[in-house]
Amino acid sequence: MKTIIEPNIINLVKKLELNSDIGFGKFMMPIMLTCEYKDGAWGDLHLGPYRKFEIDPSSKVLHYGQEIFEGLKAYKNEKDELFLFRPEKNAQRFNRSADRMAMPNFPEEKFVEGVALMAAYSRQIIPRRLGESLYLRPFMFANEVGLGIAVSNNYLFTIIASPSGAYFSSDSIKVFVERTSSRAAAGGTGFAKTGGNYAAGLLSSIKCKEAGCNQVLWLDAAEKKYIEEMSGMNFFAIINGELHTPQLTNTILEGVTRDSILELARSLGYKTVEEKLPINELLKLVKEKKCTEAFVCGTASVIVPIGSFHEENGTVYKLADDEGKISLILKDKLLRIQAGLEISPVPTWIHKIPKIDF
């Protein structure tokens, strides 16, 4: 597998101009990386201009949803140093998703090489302010033509990127407790990062918005009793000074940020607990002020405090510490580690990207 880099991409990047308010995922880098899977093997990596796909109307992805994706970031500090944060974990999760969706694995070392190349050629556009980054979106989909329900023989792997700021515009968020609909059931695709999981949550997102909330909190499909995760993030609560999060099951996405927070918190002396977390018990602890704060976490959002939980009947449970004292300590520490400004508790977390002279 060779890596082919088109010479004109340098000029494309140099011409890119961004507004001061970059938001999240609004502006695309004018370059992209692609790799095709045909005849049982991956072809060459190709870094070229950002372009539209020409896709046959009968391509399997459009009918049977065979697709997966990932999300990770590249960080640049004031020294103009560029870093990836635990990209091998994203590569591993990508292939776990591929296994579940009956898709071919993509070589992990080439996954890391691909995101590093995208970041290296985007260096001059990546913002330096703490909390801003280059969001990288690797994805793969089935593009074999034909309407037969069967595993595709052809796939396209692609990486696009977007200079991005904060995912949420507010300092804390309101969470809608979803007690009727389900996002993922045991034995399904809940642990895989595939678009169908997110599509299944869109209807509830309408209810969430109508209730004046920012994110949906999902419960287990079987009993509607235990907290699982948000629509696109993992969940944490501070209970009696301890860091609690739902234990992983095959219905919960194994977040890289989630895992990093657990290790970071332990290195800072906090006790961490991974166990089943009943929603009614949590809300009771919020009322008793024993659960003082809660937060969501993910690659896009990093860490954002939860201000309140909202029921569909209008009941509101407000957190005693809605600004998130402990969560913001963890967030600041994590952001500084990701930007290479502080020593990581695990040295292998940080992947420094060599500078490419244009």
**Residue 54 DSSP label:** P
- Three-state DSSP class for 33? strand
**Residue 124 DSSP label:** G
Give yes or no for a contact between 108 and 92, defined as CB atoms under 8 angstroms apart: yes
- Three-state DSSP class for 31? strand
Which single residue is written with the structure tokens 């642990």? 191
Q: What is the pTM of this model?
A: 0.95
Give the number of other Cβ atoms within 10 Å of residue 39's Cβ: 7
* Residue 194, both tokens: 């595939």
Strands 155-164 and 291-298, sheet pairing = unpaired
Q: What local confidence, expressed as pLDDT, does residue 358 receive?
A: 67
Burial tier of 2 (Cβ tally within 10 Å: 0-12, 13-18, 19+): exposed
Beta strands in the chain (DSSP E): 3-5, 31-38, 41-42, 45-49, 67-69, 72-76, 82-85, 133-142, 155-164, 173-178, 215-219, 227-230, 234-239, 242-245, 272-274, 291-298, 302-310, 316-318, 350-352
How far is it, in rounded angstroms, from Cα 90 to Cα 117?
16
DSSP notation for 151-197? --S-EEEEEEEEEE--SSSSSSEEEEEE-S--S--TTSSTTS--HHH
How far is it, in rounded angstroms, from Cα 247 to Cα 273?
8
Q: What local confidence, expressed as pLDDT, does residue 109 receive?
A: 97
Tell me the torsion sign for CA atoms 271, 71, 191, 308. Answer: positive
Question: For the chain, which residues score pLDDT lower than 50?
Answer: none
- Three-state DSSP class for 123? helix
Chain centroid, CA 135 distance in Å = 9
Angle between helices 87-100 and 256-267 (to 10 degrees): 140
* Residue 80, both tokens: 């103009």
Q: What local confidence, expressed as pLDDT, does residue 67 receive?
A: 98
Segment 217-266, tens digit of pLDDT: 999 999 999 999 999 899 999 999 999 999 999 999 999 999 999 999 99
Q: What local confidence, expressed as pLDDT, does residue 1 receive?
A: 86
* Residue 51, both tokens: 């372009």
Give yes or no for a contact between 214 and 170, defined as CB atoms under 8 angstroms apart: yes
| H or E, element range at 97 | helix 87-100
Q: Compute φ and ψ for 349, nearest 5 degrees.
A: -65, -30
Give yes or no for a contact between 274 and 343, defined as CB atoms under 8 angstroms apart: no
